[in-house]
Amino acid sequence: MATDYSKPPRGLKWRSNTLFIISTVGIGLFTDLFLYGIVVPILPFILNDRLNIPHSEIQKYVSALLACFAGASVLFSIPVGIIADKLQARQLPFLVGLFALLASTFLLYLGQTIGVLILARILQGISAAVVWTIGLAMVMDTVGSDKLGVTIGSIFSFISVGELAAPVLGGVVYKKAGAGAVFGMGFGLLAVDFAMRLAIIEKKTARKYGYDEDDEGCRGEDREADERTALLSNGQTKDENLEDWKIRTDQPSWIRKFPILYSLGNKRLLTAELVAFAQAILLAVFDATIPTEAQDLFNFDSLKVGLLFAPLILPYLLFGPLCGKGVDKYGARLAAGFGFGYLVLPLLLLRIPHAGGTAEIVKFCIFLSMSGCGLALISAPSIVEASYVVERYHQANKEFFGEEGPYAQLYAINSVVFSAGLTLGPLIAGGLRERIGFGNMNAVVAGLCAVVSGLSFAFLGKIPKVVDRHTFAGDF
């Protein structure tokens, strides 16, 4: 049955408003990370209290459960991206992902065997594949590439609370009120998330009803100038043009069927994905090892383990939008290069704290806070750089990529890479920690950061030249 676009739905203006769409995506990502992170500090205690897993095997099972989540994201991200780019709207798959997350949360709450917990984490991984692929594609659809960095930086500064405050709340609430209260918070958040995803109207759908928010504030030559400025951002200079991004027509059939694969030969895009991979490994290392290290060093319970994540939160909140805006203005190179280079220091310093009292705990918190500053720096470069490269290919080869472009497929690839980092991170971190110790494990991760820093300086976008936003408007 065809949709009647002659009768606009109620609330069309606010439901298709840029802020509401971005907020909905932000809440979706927040919910995903919150429900991922809420079990991080309590997993060891659930395994021990509910499943009677011996302490000597806790690290193995914690790492395995974290890896199951990320592995499911790896397997499902690409199919989700391909399907999303073929659909007229992205709202339906966005809602489907939420139902997978709801089922996962019920299983985590009720599961009495390791098999049920594994299934729960797999469903959670499927949901993550949907929300990160569809959600980021909706952000790109809504704001374009010129404001992508500051938008992503702002979203990440908000959702980092879900990722990093969740362990705090999870540990505190589990200690004070038990598992029921912990998962009750999750169900409440799922209800809010569902209402917002159901209400959203995408901008391209709103245009079919005759409403375009962008036309109210940006028309004619000014809008063309803004578009030209956007295409000259993230490392582009006046001397670069679309001809540099042309794809030869004599491509094999598999490239013509999935042209996004051609883009993966670009060094900038490959390096951007490496940045995402390393970022995920870092987050996974902290998630997988801080709870068990805190138990071993300081004999912390779930409440104190949760509070130990708190020093990572503030730097994200303060510096996330600022760093994202810097990426928009100066390109991804500086943020990623300096960010990963800087992270070498706090990772090496985490070797210093040892078993002891307040002084050692303070050291541990300071070094975690320093790490949080570095994580804020590297939050936006990967997505902004990857979006820029694919946008240029899309603009130069619309006969290959179609009018809408392959952005959901791009973010699916990004989700695969990020999830691969989340998969390998706990396994590597858990294995290294058991074999060479927590300090030496962090030294290995610091070495990875140093390599990624060098590659970022070598291949990511350069600082752009100053561009007069009106000089080239007539060329379009």
Q: State residue 451's pLDDT score.
A: 97
The answer to whether the predicted template modeling score (pTM) of the entire model surpasses 0.95 is no
| Stronger pLDDT, 88 or 200, i.e. the higher one | 200
Enter the DSSP assignment of 437: -
Using the predicted structure, report yes or no on whether residue 80 has a pLDDT greater than 80: yes
Output the CA–CA distances (angstroms, integers) from residue 425 to 330, 428, 440, in the order listed.
Answer: 30, 5, 15
Q: What is the pLDDT of residues 395-409, one digit of tens each?
A: 888 777 776 677 777
Q: What is the mean pLDDT of the chain?
A: 79
Q: What is the pLDDT of residues 346-359, one digit of tens each?
A: 999 988 888 777 88
- Is the CATH code 3.40.50.300 the one for domain 12-207+242-462? no
Which of 136-140, 194-198, 257-261 is least confident? Answer: 257-261
- Please state, in angstroms and rounded to a whole number, the distance separating the CA atoms of residues 42 and 51: 13
Q: State residue 449's pLDDT score.
A: 95
- Segment 20-35 mean pLDDT: 87
Q: Which of 62-71, 308-317, 368-377 has the highest mean pLDDT?
A: 368-377
Q: State residue 3's pLDDT score.
A: 65
Q: State residue 214's pLDDT score.
A: 63
| Stronger pLDDT, 26 or 306, i.e. the higher one | 26
The pLDDT-based confidence of 370 (bands split at 50, 70, 90) is: very high
Q: State residue 66's pLDDT score.
A: 74
Q: Which residues of 275-308 are buried (b: 16+ CB within 10 A; e: fewer)?
A: bbbbbbbbbbbbbbbbbbbbbebbebebbbbbbb
- Closest by CA position to 448, among listed 374, 372, 364, 367: 374
Amino acid at 138: M
Tokens of 6: 């002659």
Q: What residue spans define the domains of the chain? A: 12-207+242-462
Percent of the chain with pLDDT over 70: 85
- Segment 128-156 mean pLDDT: 77
Q: What is the pLDDT of residues 99-128, one digit of tens each?
A: 888 998 888 888 888 888 889 889 988 888
Question: Which residue, chain included where needed, has tokens 């951002």?
Answer: 233
Which of 14-23, 152-161, 172-181, 385-394 is least confident? Answer: 152-161
Q: State residue 277's pLDDT score.
A: 93
Tokens of 14: 């606010």
The pLDDT-based confidence of 345 (bands split at 50, 70, 90) is: very high
In the chain, % helix, strand, coil (3-state, to 5) comes to 80, 0, 20
